[in-house]
Amino acid sequence: MRKGYFISALMALILAFSVGCAKNSDVKQEEDKKVNLITEEELGYRTTTLYDEKLAQTPGNVYHTEIAGTSKRIERAFDNAPPMIPHSTEGLLPITKDNNMCTGCHMPEMAKAMGAVPIPKSHFVNLRTNQELDTLYQGRFNCSQCHTPQAKTDPIVENKFEGAFRTKEGRFSSNLMDNINEGVSAD
């Protein structure tokens, strides 16, 4: 008996809801006629449909054109953040496991002679096994996954983020391996 009552009450509720929705739909259509609606194309910074990338225009960003070794280093965004690439990457991308032009200048044994920043210790450790390696860990071969060229542009929205640095040197160098396990307990 209760089961039949419950089903009847549920059906009545569904019927009332659907009638109300239809009524609300009619009211909404009338309101839409009175109000200037904003289309999807007008919602964001883009001026094209969100469903087709063919018409999307990217801003005319200008990237650093200085050749490697002549550019000025860019301060990191925060302590141990991946540094930005301050020089042109033309001819260096795409990076693959078998073709990585970055290592020609940034490997520790070459960096000083090339005037480049050496790849840090963290890139020569398999962090899953905590094993130190003599070669670049292959999980880190794709430099542009974390390191990106910096565009010279005026942002649409002002960035008020201020990165925190533990040391003055942290603005331009990494000490990740020295504090990677900070706060981790063996217990």
Picking from 62, 163, 174, the residue whose alpha carbon sits closest to that of residue 122 is 174
Is residue 94 reached through a cis peptide bond, with omega within 30 degrees of 0 on the bond before it?
Answer: yes
DSSP reduced 3-state for 10: helix
DSSP reduced 3-state for 23: helix
The per-residue pLDDT for 3 is 61
Sites in the chain below the pLDDT cut of 50: none
The per-residue pLDDT for 83 is 92
Q: For residue range 93-120, list pLDDT tens digits in order.
A: 899 989 999 999 999 999 999 989 999 9
Residue 146 structure tokens: 């974390």
Q: For residue range 66-93, list pLDDT tens digits in order.
A: 888 888 888 999 999 999 999 988 888 8
Q: How far apart are CA 67 and CA 89, in angstroms?
A: 8
Query: How many other C-beta atoms are found inside a 10 Å radius of the C-beta of residue 45?
Result: 7
The per-residue pLDDT for 135 is 93
Domains of the chain are 61-156 (1.10.1130.10)
The alpha carbon of 31 is separated from its chain's Cα centroid by a whole number of angstroms, namely 40
CB of 110 within 8 A of CB of 117?
Answer: no
